Structure 1
Amino acid sequence: MGEKSVGGAGGRVSSPRCVAIVGPFASGKTTLFEALLARTGAIARQGSVTAGTTLGDASEEARSHGMSVEANIADCTYKGDKYTFIDCPGSVEFLSESDAVLSGVDLAIVVAEPDEKKIPALQVILKALEEKRIPHFLFLNKIDKATGRVRDTLAALQPASSVPLLLRQIPIWKDGVASGYIDLALERAFVYHEGEASTVIDLPDEEKARELEARYSMMEMLADHDDHLMEQLLEEVEPEDEVVFEDLGTTMRHCDVVPVFIGCAEKSNGIRRLLKGLRHEAPTISDTRARVGLEPSDPGTLQVLKTYHTQHGGKLSVCRVFSGKLTDSSVLRSVGGEELKPSGLFRMKGAQPIKNDGAVEEGDLIALGKLEEVKTGDTLGIGQAPAVPLDAPQPAEPVLSLAVKAAERKDEVRLSAALTKLIEEDPSLRLVQSQDSGQTLLEGQGEMHLRVAVEKLKGKYGLNVETAEPVVPYQETIRAGTELRRRHKKQSGGHGQFGDVALKIMPQPRGEGHAFSDTITGGVVPKQYIPSVKSGVEEALQKGPLGFPVVDVGVVLTDGSYHSVDSSDQAFRMAAILAMRDGLKECKPVLLEPIDKVTVACPSDATARITAIVSGRRGQILGFDARPGWEGWDEVQALMPESEVGDLIIELRSATAGVASFRRAFDHMEELSGKAADQVITKYGSQMA
């Protein structure tokens, strides 16, 4: 039995399509990636994630953790059309990989499970697509494990999407298992054959009423965007097939609906129908070019979506060709007009580059070799004119830090180079040199994110790396003042050393910083030595009696004496240091800890748990409110000690099925006393500058 022809197919534009596969962690994205490649003949057989035989997730880190940790790319053809599929990580800790990729795709396939517990994670994915106005299908995976009506499942998933979910297929149940499906647009029934194409069957009599009800619901949703179709429904006129298919494609491309397909990627069920949906309804490169803001007449523009550092081929910049054609001899230009010449053009197969042997046309995804100065998100132009810059996503702010250093001093330069490469591959990693502790901090999106980064340093770059907790930048100040005099005198043959100073030390208002002045009269301390006294004071304040930098202290040089032969800059500097070290001990030193303002974003049903977690970490709850633009989410504001914020994200994610996030900013320093202060002094005092 033949299939209905798809309306508008004759005018369908054939151009390379770039499709991202996204979805929550463990929803089956990599398995769908494999199934699509196997069904199109790009790979000989479908690999298994559990067996470690997939084209995607080929890295040691991905396979050891059983999860995607970076984007994987592969080309294929289906019925003469070229496709590039990009399998993106699902964990919230690796979502920056998706953010960069989504800038250049035509469409996304969102893989979801019939599992209400994953709705918050699904919402995070869908929100990113909605904000970028990226058309998307939803593939309801693992339909063989679903219980209950699929329309009830969709109703449960709908709150995750601000765009209506449009059911395109309903399952045929046999003995409680989905044995096939009914396509509501084609009005045809199909039976699954594991690992093979589904076959058409006559629509079972017992399914006809259910099919009519589901199809009418689909038509009603389409009619919200088509007045002519609405009139036909009201007049009970059966619409033409061409109208239905045209509306399905148009509403999806305009992000008015999210078409929902069903299947089981592991068994390769529903894959061909998904491919046909892509073939007839997915946007073309011209649609995407308009979405990113390029003019139809643009002569040639590429954008870097992903950077790889391969073991033997060096740096690869994976680019979407929005317009123009590319050859080995093409001249590329940066936004600043700099001429760039890649070492070669490559196609990606998983994480492996393959030398390109054909023309590169608009719509293609191509890897450019050894463009050392180019980074992810950059725009490149083809030809003589500078590139017109396109928007590039900014990485999320880090939520966890780890101090890293080479286990052996001889590897410090290699470590620095490897960290630079890691950050080029994953811009959501950030490297910070702490001025307070001298530590090198690697900052990222969570515990697993940083763990994988360290594993890459060891596995990919052969570096033995030591890690530690970041040192919290505690400070100290004084509660009282004092006046004292100290003399530095030393005689050891020849010229000696003599410096004599009287200092008045007093507390400054919080946040005022240091102040130094003098009231010297009569030249008791010659003017040329006063800067040395100030230098000694500042040196002594770098580490106070509790072991931390001292802040908010005023010092006045009130008196002193000198020796015409033995006095020197060094002698007066040492006298000031002695006076400050002894004087600060008399000024009732007190520890200060940094307090951050923290805003936690979480699903509303977890808000009570989040406030309890924050309060349990000495946080002061300032309030909470609905998260703007996020249905069913809240934002909790609090003031928290930085020491408690350090690993906060681990507990937050544990309490929210992995989806909570937070942002923070330093707010103020606050006194810490008693046992808590003693513990800090014991633990950190000797480590501070």
Structure 2
Amino acid sequence: MKGNSIGIRSVAIVGPYLSGKTTLLESLLWVTKAVSRKGTVQDKNTVGDSSQEARDRQMTVEVNAAHTVYEDVRFTFLDCPGSVEFAQETLNALIGVDAVVVVCEPVVDRVMTLSPLFKFLDDWEIPHFVFLNKMDRADVDFMEVLHALKAVSSRPLIPHQYPIGRGESILGFINLVNEQAYHYHPGAPADPVPFPNELKEEEQLARMEMLETLANWDDHLLEELLEEIEPPEEEILNDLKMELGADLIVPVFFGCADRDYGVRPLLEALLQETSEPTAIAERRNIKSDAEIAQVLKTYNTQQGGKLSLIRVWQGTITDGMTLNGVRIGGMYRLMGQQQQSINEAHAGEIVALARMEGIKTGDTLSPAEVPALRQPEQIKPVFAMAIQAEKRNDEVKLTGTLAKLLEEDAGLRWEQHGDTHEIILWGQGEIHLQVALDRLRRKYNLPMVTHLPQVPYKETVRKSTNSHGRYKHQTGGHGQFGDVYLDIQPVARGDGFRFGEKIVGGVVPKQYIPGVEMGVREYLTTGPLGFPVVDIAVTLTNGSYHSVDSSEQAFKQAARIAMQEGMAKCEPVLLEPIVKAVISVPTDFTSKVLRLSSGRRGQVLGYDAKEGWTGWDDVVVLLPQAEMHDLIVELRSQTMGVGFFQCEFDHLQEVPDKLAERVLVTTGHSNGKR
């Protein structure tokens, strides 16, 4: 094993839920003899999906790292979540690898689910392959699937192989580089076999497609094709490596990972056609004399404490080195949840550093001061639950534990809502939050009780009125006396609260006027319908005082009395928050989004082509916040999981009368009591 970046490759494995990513990783580890026994997702004994949360659901919920050595090259594989609900976890990891294997099933209707992933990889210029898994279950022609894949990728996809057989009858493949045919054998490498002449025409079409695409960036190859000269194998492989490394092409492989079919040819391509780690570092413009690394993932383990999974971009990181002012407390290669202690890591390697307190996912690490490396954009959360500790005594440790939870999962957010005073946990979907709650219970012994977040309704008034409030209290000695007259008026939506005074002749001394405003403000925190009052103007117009018994506190109480009596005469009305949502979907689903919006009391403002996304639309909608809770669930169910949205508060709007009645009954304010 060489001690520098030559001989090192880091590869991410990603794809839609149930495409077989974890099974492919297990097969790669098995054929390279990194594991002595091949695990299965069903038996819950794979290297990937090693956490209990993943095994309970039989799905990848966080990045898992594994390493192996093949042909004197050390590979680090990152098994990434496929569910869109854990996309932030995946994106954070993808920026740190030399190449990506996109795993998908040979089902034309599901190809659309790869569109956002391809977009991200191309935006970051990350070299990637496609591996069509489960080819023994394919019921369509290989070239038909390839055509569908091309429609969702901005880079040309080229076949690297052509199948022999189809579905359950798949026998092997033809390598389109050297036109050698192979037959699969369970648990063993594929054997060379004579070329199947009955496939000659189809194979030639697929091979010519590959060569013509490569010739777009190689004039010499183009001349050979025009002159009908057979290009040498070495030239084709060099073009594949160069154009793959520049993210100009996407080679397509296929197989059946659970039977190890097609895994060895994929591994050979990762060995021969992926660029050295320095190439992607140069493309990211990482130039410095110092050692540089970046944190791709943070784990908080129950036994070993905090682990930071890093990509070494430049130089050699050694155990005990100080990075960003923090001393490394241990260095490990990971094999799922197993750790192998090491002393150093070279450029291109992905390893875990222990006890890097204060360091978070995405951070750039170096012993010197260097520019921060680019990070993926943070995906805004779209699904929320209100949470509280099941045991009251646990409330004191909730904030600290949530901080640790968010340190591990950058896709989560939490807030204490200023109006409802609930602690709200935000994520990318229902399963995402269920996994987070499971971690709180299992890892931190902090079980939670959950419910839907309250909608932060407000109220205002429709009519103006004059109101009088007098507070008089005698307890022996000095008493309390305050007397005020208030004008209460509605103001334009969004103007908030305004207080003023028109006192003449000092009937209310200036030192007591702040008490009047304070009393009004305190009342407005809970109006006659039971919600905070907004968009209202209150003016102090008159009053009286006692030279001995009056005080600021007395005038505060008088103002509250005046507000309580006056507000009931002003026709209070319930307001709900309206958000402006930009819903992004493939054009084929735009009509469904329009129907979805109208079914949730939405107002469609318009839709247009989504900038930078071929075949996608942005639909702009005004929606009541009360209709937003499970919007992402329905949106994904109607768009094959790819639809997404961003939203922000826009304005408050009156709730329709019948709906307002239901809200008041539900919230316990139907009797109008405070």
Matched ranges for 1:94-105 at <5 A: 94-105=86-97
Partner letter of residue 224 of structure 2?
A: Q
CA distances 1:236-278 after superposition (whole Å, capped 9, x unpaired): 1111222111111111111111001111111111111111101
Q: Which residue of 1 aligns with 2:345?
A: 360
Deviation of residue 587 (structure 1)?
Answer: 0.9
Deviation of residue 682 (structure 1)?
Answer: 2.2
What is the alpha-carbon distance in structure 1 between the residues aligned to residue 565 and residue 317 of structure 2? 72
Q: Which residue of 1 aligns with 2:297?
A: 306
2:543 pairs with 1:560: yes
What is the alpha-carbon distance in structure 1 between the residues aligned to residue 417 and residue 29 of structure 2? 46
Question: 1:502 and 1:180, CA in 2 relative to 1: closer, same or farther beyond 3 A?
Answer: same
Q: Which residue of 1 aligns with 2:443?
A: 460
What is the alpha-carbon distance in structure 2 between the residues aligned to residue 87 and residue 584 of structure 1? 60
Deviation of residue 401 (structure 1)?
Answer: 1.0
2:3 pairs with 1:18: no
Deviation of residue 175 (structure 1)?
Answer: 8.9
Q: Which residue of 2 aligns with 1:483?
A: 466
Deviation of residue 519 (structure 1)?
Answer: 1.5
Question: Contact between 1:471 and 1:684, CA under 8 Å: does it hold in 2?
Answer: no
Question: 1:662 and 1:569, CA in 2 relative to 1: closer, same or farther beyond 3 A?
Answer: same
Matched ranges for 1:53-202 at <5 A: 53-173=45-165, 177-202=169-194
Q: Which residue of 2 aligns with 1:412?
A: 395
What is the alpha-carbon distance in structure 2 between the residues aligned to residue 174 and residue 538 of structure 1? 74
Question: Contact between 1:15 and 1:363, CA under 8 Å: does it hold in 2?
Answer: no
Amino-acid identity (%): 47
**Per the alignment, in what secondary structure is the counterpart of residue 387 of structure 1?**
coil
1:450 to 433, 440, 454: 433
1:570 to 553, 568, 583: 553
2:332 pairs with 1:342: no
**Per the alignment, in what secondary structure is the counterpart of residue 160 of structure 1?**
coil
Matched ranges for 1:134-283 at <5 A: 134-173=126-165, 177-283=169-275
2:654 pairs with 1:666: no
- Range with bigger deviation, 164-173 or 210-219: 210-219
**Per the alignment, in what secondary structure is the counterpart of residue 18 of structure 2?**
coil
Matched ranges for 1:532-571 at <5 A: 532-571=515-554
Matched ranges for 1:357-396 at <5 A: 358-382=343-367, 385-396=368-379
What is the alpha-carbon distance in structure 2 between the residues aligned to residue 53 and residue 472 of structure 1? 43
Deviation of residue 436 (structure 1)?
Answer: 0.7
**Per the alignment, in what secondary structure is the counterpart of residue 151 of structure 2?**
helix
- Range with bigger deviation, 423-432 or 203-212: 203-212
What is the alpha-carbon distance in structure 1 between the residues aligned to residue 428 and residue 509 of structure 2? 56
Deviation of residue 602 (structure 1)?
Answer: 1.6
Partner letter of residue 350 of structure 1?
A: G
**Per the alignment, in what secondary structure is the counterpart of residue 612 of structure 2?**
coil
Partner letter of residue 260 of structure 2?
A: S
Deviation of residue 596 (structure 1)?
Answer: 0.9
Question: Contact between 2:255 and 2:263, CA under 8 Å: does it hold in 1?
Answer: yes
Question: 1:549 and 1:185, CA in 2 relative to 1: closer, same or farther beyond 3 A?
Answer: same
What is the alpha-carbon distance in structure 2 between the residues aligned to residue 514 and residue 364 of structure 1? 58
Q: Which residue of 2 aligns with 1:635?
A: 618
Partner letter of residue 98 of structure 1?
A: T
**Per the alignment, in what secondary structure is the counterpart of residue 120 of structure 1?**
helix
Deviation of residue 214 (structure 1)?
Answer: 2.3
Partner letter of residue 312 of structure 2?
A: V
Deviation of residue 329 (structure 1)?
Answer: 2.9
What is the alpha-carbon distance in structure 2 between the residues aligned to residue 456 and residue 622 of structure 1? 41
Question: Contact between 2:44 and 2:55, CA under 8 Å: does it hold in 1?
Answer: yes
Q: Which residue of 2 aligns with 1:4?
A: none
Deviation of residue 415 (structure 1)?
Answer: 2.1
CA distances 1:467-511 after superposition (whole Å, capped 9, x unpaired): 111111111111111112111111122222111111111111221
What is the alpha-carbon distance in structure 2 between the residues aligned to residue 681 and residue 355 of structure 1? 61
What is the alpha-carbon distance in structure 2 between the residues aligned to residue 48 and residue 176 of structure 1? 21
Matched ranges for 1:5-44 at <5 A: 14-44=6-36
**Per the alignment, in what secondary structure is the counterpart of residue 543 of structure 1?**
coil
Deviation of residue 100 (structure 1)?
Answer: 0.5
What is the alpha-carbon distance in structure 1 between the residues aligned to residue 491 and residue 426 of structure 2? 34
Partner letter of residue 33 of structure 1?
A: L
CA distances 1:360-379 after superposition (whole Å, capped 9, x unpaired): 21111121111121000000
What is the alpha-carbon distance in structure 1 between the residues aligned to residue 482 and residue 322 of structure 2? 69
Report the TM-score, using the length of structure 2 for normalisation: 0.96
Question: 1:493 and 1:414, CA in 2 relative to 1: closer, same or farther beyond 3 A?
Answer: same
Deviation of residue 200 (structure 1)?
Answer: 1.5
Question: 1:503 and 1:176, CA in 2 relative to 1: closer, same or farther beyond 3 A?
Answer: closer
CA distances 1:509-537 after superposition (whole Å, capped 9, x unpaired): 22111111112222221111111111001
Partner letter of residue 85 of structure 1?
A: F
Partner letter of residue 115 of structure 1?
A: V
- Range with bigger deviation, 273-282 or 607-616: 607-616
2:663 pairs with 1:677: no
Partner letter of residue 196 of structure 1?
A: A
What is the alpha-carbon distance in structure 2 between the residues aligned to residue 661 and residue 180 of structure 1? 39
Partner letter of residue 83 of structure 2?
A: S
Question: Contact between 1:603 and 1:660, CA under 8 Å: does it hold in 2?
Answer: yes
Question: Contact between 1:381 and 1:388, CA under 8 Å: does it hold in 2?
Answer: no
Question: Contact between 1:505 and 1:583, CA under 8 Å: does it hold in 2?
Answer: yes
Once superposed, which parts of structure 1, at least 4 consecutive aligned residues long, lie more than 6 Å away? Answer: none
Deviation of residue 147 (structure 1)?
Answer: 2.5
Question: Contact between 1:15 and 1:285, CA under 8 Å: does it hold in 2?
Answer: no
Partner letter of residue 241 of structure 2?
A: G
What is the alpha-carbon distance in structure 1 between the residues aligned to residue 168 and residue 502 of structure 2? 92
Question: Contact between 1:24 and 1:125, CA under 8 Å: does it hold in 2?
Answer: no
Partner letter of residue 398 of structure 1?
A: P
Q: Which residue of 2 aligns with 1:587?
A: 570
Matched ranges for 1:509-548 at <5 A: 509-548=492-531
- Range with bigger deviation, 499-508 or 212-221: 212-221
Q: How many residues align?
A: 669
Question: Contact between 1:159 and 1:631, CA under 8 Å: does it hold in 2?
Answer: no
Deviation of residue 22 (structure 1)?
Answer: 0.9
Deviation of residue 174 (structure 1)?
Answer: 7.3
Segments of structure 2 that go 5 or more residues without pairing to the other structure are none
Deviation of residue 607 (structure 1)?
Answer: 1.9
What is the alpha-carbon distance in structure 2 between the residues aligned to residue 681 and residue 289 of structure 1? 59
CA distances 1:311-370 after superposition (whole Å, capped 9, x unpaired): 11111111111111122232222xxxxx110211111111333322x4321111121111
**Per the alignment, in what secondary structure is the counterpart of residue 345 of structure 2?**
coil
Report the TM-score, using the length of structure 1 for normalisation: 0.94
Q: Which residue of 2 aligns with 1:336?
A: none
CA distances 1:4-48 after superposition (whole Å, capped 9, x unpaired): xxxxxxxx9833111110111111111111111111111112211
Segments of structure 1 that go 5 or more residues without pairing to the other structure are 1-11, 334-338
Question: Contact between 2:524 and 2:532, CA under 8 Å: does it hold in 1?
Answer: yes
**Per the alignment, in what secondary structure is the counterpart of residue 212 of structure 2?**
helix
Question: Contact between 1:596 and 1:640, CA under 8 Å: does it hold in 2?
Answer: yes
2:408 pairs with 1:425: yes
